[in-house]
Structure 1
Amino acid sequence: MNVTRGAWVEIGAPLFAQDGTADRAARDQAARQFQQARDQLANLQAAGKPTEIQQAEANLVDSRATVERTKVDLDRAEALIKDSAVTVQTLDQRRADYRSATARVAAMEAALAQIRAPMGRKGEITAQHSAVEAAQAAVEMADWRLSQRCVTSPVAARVADVLARPGETMAAGAPVVSLLPPGNIFVRFFVPEPELSRIHLGDVVTVRCDRCDADIAATISFIAPQPEYTPPVIFSEESRAKLVYLIEARPPPAQAALFNPGQPVTVRPPPEGKS
């Protein structure tokens, strides 16, 4: 707990902190899952190992050399067949060897391209991209939850009450600190029915309190739509049962801090003919 009842706090001032052990553990877990998803994506996008690529390149060089050799043998056999220096069977064998070597080159080129390409299929990579984005969103959510463990004041206000103490276990949504900013302070008073016609929203009334050096102007912000009987605890110069209307007026925030909740004040209506 960083504040006490009655203290004044500025915007962003720390109010209280909650135990964040569980949220820190959840954030660490989300971060590790995010890193795991990124590593899996990098693995799917990566090509083969350097040694595998070197082996495939070497196999391709060997296959191309075999093609060159079988081509030379085929050309020689085709030249010698004219003089009957080789048999037809030998020529057919040279042709088959050349076709086989050419096909092996195509296979080695395809194998090298496969090793250089990403290991994962396009659909697998797309799905893993989505998994990475989901893991990143989980990390951001965990960071937000952890940041909410340290609560700061959203406005400049006075601490009206402290409802919890260090070490207490609070239910979800239970209030811990009550703030009263000057802009939320208003004067509540009652007027009799004959005077209601003089009161309008936006009218300015003057308010005086015991320690006020001068009258304070307050703007009427609410007029009750229904009458009620005079409350028994109303601060008035006379007590008699009659219908009155509840009125609320808000003083400027700079002067509202002069009032304390529940303090009796004197309210004067605007002069005749003036709003």
Structure 2
Amino acid sequence: MTKRKRMVLVFGVLVLGAAIALGAYFWLRPVGVSSTLTLYGNVDIREVDAAFNDTGRVAKLLVQEGDVVHKGELIALMDDKRFSDELDAANAQAAQQKQVLVALQAGSRPEQIAQAKARMDALEVVYKNDKANYERYATLAPTGAATLQKRDDAQAAFLNAEQNYMAAKQAYELAVKGPRAEDIAAAQASYDGAVANAKLAQQKLDDTKLYAPVDGIIESRVQEPGDMVSPATPIYTIARTDPLWVRAYVPESELGRIKLGMAADITTDSYPDKVYPGWVGYLSPTAEFTPKNVETPDLRAQLVYQLRVYTCASENELRLGMPATVKIDLTQQQKDQQVNRGANECGGGDATGN
């Protein structure tokens, strides 16, 4: 073997030994704990089903899929003819009961009192005259100056006139006193009931208008004009734009390093150069098996904890189900005010997004 070949052989052995030593160093050295936790999940939102509060036929739908709506915005109409007629009837009944109540509260009119008094006075004259006739015949009959028949006729006329006078007197006294308190109370109750029925009819008419219950985006238009619907029939499904979060899963080994309120960065494949600021708003108190759509088959049997990273700076770019990457700096200082970080950034609300 020549000198040159021996040198090449020695050099090769040295290189091989160095490579083996370097590989052993990197293989056997202690692995440091990463300061950043990277999680993979999907964008999640809450959905609201908007429905009429009564049964009827859809008359008009005012928004379409993809439209942005705000809480209180009119989005659909129901045929209101039946409810409008019910309201008219209820208002008429309330008006009638009100007039009855007003009449009783006002009492007897002066003309009624005067009429009752005039009748009483007239019957009093008849009563006194018939009484005098009866007393005269009652005196003459025993002496034979008048027949017993005359006396009996005079007595009957007197008793009849007395009854008529007493009735007229009581009618006059009632006219002066006016209606009884019990009658007024009964009329008041009837009127109150009629007013309540009118308010209920008005509410039913108002319920023929459907207003957006929350801010959001129309995700689906479930019904069409002409469909019969009920309170259990959704008209639209609205995707809420706030709160919005990324649902990810944390293994038990990393759970102790995450605290509520910690800041997080969210990225997506759709906007790879854009980072959405967020915060940890929810950590599940119970473990579950890793969802099949998140991890590889060999990790599906592991127990993990659901985590939600909320954000309010999505600019309508984060969509339901979109894959997202979450990075959390585990070296950040945990402060009490960080729990409300989300509420401050979003202009109020709950850091948990509830």
TM-score, normalised to structure 1, is: 0.72
Q: Distance in 2 between matches of 1:136 and 1:213?
A: 63
Deviation string for 1:236-270 (max 9, x for gaps)?
6x664133221112112x53633110111110013
160, 167, 171: which one aligns with 2:226: 167
Per the TM alignment, residue 3 of structure 1 is displaced from its structure 2 partner at its CA by 0.6
Q: Is the contact made by 1:182 and 1:256 (CA closer than 8 Å) also made in structure 2?
A: no
Q: Would you say 1:37 and 2:97 are equivalent positions?
A: yes
**Paired AA for residue 88 in structure 2:** D
1:95 matched residue in structure 2: none
Per the TM alignment, residue 6 of structure 1 is displaced from its structure 2 partner at its CA by 0.9
Q: Would you say 1:217 and 2:255 are equivalent positions?
A: no
2:305 matched residue in structure 1: 245
TM-score, normalised to structure 2, is: 0.57
Per the TM alignment, residue 7 of structure 1 is displaced from its structure 2 partner at its CA by 0.5
* Higher RCO structure, 1 or 2 (CA under 8 Å, sep 6+): 2
Q: Distance in 1 between matches of 2:112 and 2:272?
A: 88
Max radius of gyration: which structure? 2
- Correspondences of 1:172-251 after superposition (within 5 Å): 172-209=231-268, 210-211=270-271, 214-234=274-294, 240-241=298-299, 242-251=302-311
Q: Is the contact made by 1:222 and 1:247 (CA closer than 8 Å) also made in structure 2?
A: yes
Q: Would you say 1:269 and 2:328 are equivalent positions?
A: yes
- Correspondences of 1:35-184 after superposition (within 5 Å): 35-48=95-108, 51-56=111-116, 58=118, 112-118=172-178, 120-184=179-243
SS in 1 for 2:197: helix
Q: Is the contact made by 2:257 and 2:330 (CA closer than 8 Å) also made in structure 1?
A: no
> Sequence identity of aligned pairs in percent?
24
Q: Distance in 1 between matches of 2:172 and 2:180?
A: 16
**Paired AA for residue 274 in structure 1:** Q
- Correspondences of 1:15-26 after superposition (within 5 Å): 15-26=75-86
Per the TM alignment, residue 147 of structure 1 is displaced from its structure 2 partner at its CA by 0.7
Per the TM alignment, residue 271 of structure 1 is displaced from its structure 2 partner at its CA by 3.2
Specify whether residues 213 and 109 from structure 1 end up closer, same or farther in structure 2 by C-alpha distance, changes over 3 A only: farther
- Of Structure 1 and Structure 2, the greater strand share is in 2
Q: Distance in 2 between matches of 1:131 and 1:51?
A: 28
Measured on the aligned residues, the alpha-carbon RMSD in Å equals 3.1
Specify whether residues 16 and 196 from structure 1 end up closer, same or farther in structure 2 by C-alpha distance, changes over 3 A only: same
Per the TM alignment, residue 194 of structure 1 is displaced from its structure 2 partner at its CA by 1.7
Per the TM alignment, residue 274 of structure 1 is displaced from its structure 2 partner at its CA by 3.1
Per the TM alignment, residue 165 of structure 1 is displaced from its structure 2 partner at its CA by 0.8
2:88 matched residue in structure 1: 28
Q: Is the contact made by 1:185 and 1:256 (CA closer than 8 Å) also made in structure 2?
A: no
